[in-house]
Amino acid sequence: MKPKIGIIPGDPSGIGPELIARLLTSDGVCEAADILLIGDRHVFEAGQVVAGCNYAMASVDLENGWPITTGFALIEMNTIAAEDVQVAKVTQAGGASVLSTLDKALELTTAGVIDAIVFGPFNKASMHKAGLGKDDELHYMAEKLGVTNYISELNTLDGIWTSRVTSHIALRDVADTITAERVSEAVHLINSTLRRSGMKRPRISVAALNPHAGDNGNFGTEEIDILEPTVRKLAQLQMSIDGPWPSDTVFLKAVAKEIDAVVTMYHDQGQIALKLLGFDRGVTVQGGLPIPVATPAHGTAFDIAGKGRADVGATRAAFEIACDMVLNWDKSI
């Protein structure tokens, strides 16, 4: 059976609607999954205009079932008036539209109507204006789904995965936030996510916090006090894990396919590496949720919104990863 993928357009002021239009007119997409579009018809249509492409959108009532035989099924919503869409601007209306479509997508996954969610880029400033009430969309989704376990964004590119011990916090607070418990949680999260997705024994490396992995304590002792003991304990659980490795070399191991995943200590430590490897292909997976949720790793790109220049590569990769995760998802892990 095909995966059932729910797609929401992201912030209507950004490049999301254009990206979704380009995705849905890409070769092989319709064959790979049954797709349920969730949102305002005029937002999806605006994306088609910008992208210079066209696809059929037959509105469906879920009581009559879906998928349909041609085009893509659309659950029509009224989250934002067409005149309130201000391209390339942070707006409360845009943020409210995002939250409404996201809520609907989560509702449909809980009901078993769709298997996974792919979303166009969100703009956190707009979402906060609209009452997000959480640090980011992952924590918002976790609360909506009743998730109480450890969660963190995971990033992936060309088979390389990353998780991180700290995320959206100030760099000055990173060292104080790194504990054996948090490192262990970050490792367990990426290990279980990859195993759930069909990888039997993920090969994981842990990045160091300090330059040269602390240089035997000369540049900090987090490696000696926290990271090395934690890696040893995790290895005793029969995980394929090593480290800590200096962050300026650990990704060379990943590129050489010697490992599958890197656990980083803070946001930019992994993001810079992946985006240099391929900004147009990077994907963010919302780790720790009971369902696959994926999105391009880049943002709303207000600088090119409405100009027809958005690259669909990362969105296509997010869609393919969501499909692959659904097909391999092991709920027992």
Domain co-membership, 163 together with 263: yes
Domain co-membership, 7 together with 88: yes
pLDDT at 153: 92
Q: List 263's β-bridge partners, or say none.
A: 163, 206
Domain co-membership, 4 together with 133: yes
Domain co-membership, 51 together with 160: no
Q: Which residue has the higher pLDDT, 1 or 257?
A: 257
CA distances 209 to 27, 102, 190, 204, Å, are 42, 35, 18, 16
Query: What average pLDDT does the structure give for the chain?
Result: 94
What is the tens place of the pLDDT at every residue in 197-227? 889 999 999 999 999 999 999 999 999 999 9
Q: Which residue has the higher pLDDT, 246 or 135?
A: 246
CA distance 2 to 284: 22
Domain co-membership, 11 together with 141: yes
Domain co-membership, 316 together with 181: no
Q: Print the domain residue range for 259.
A: 151-280
CATH of the domain at 43: 3.40.718.10
Number of domains in the chain: 2
Residue 69's pLDDT band, with cuts at 50, 70 and 90, is: low
Extract the tokens encoding 198: 């069909």
Residue 245's pLDDT band, with cuts at 50, 70 and 90, is: very high
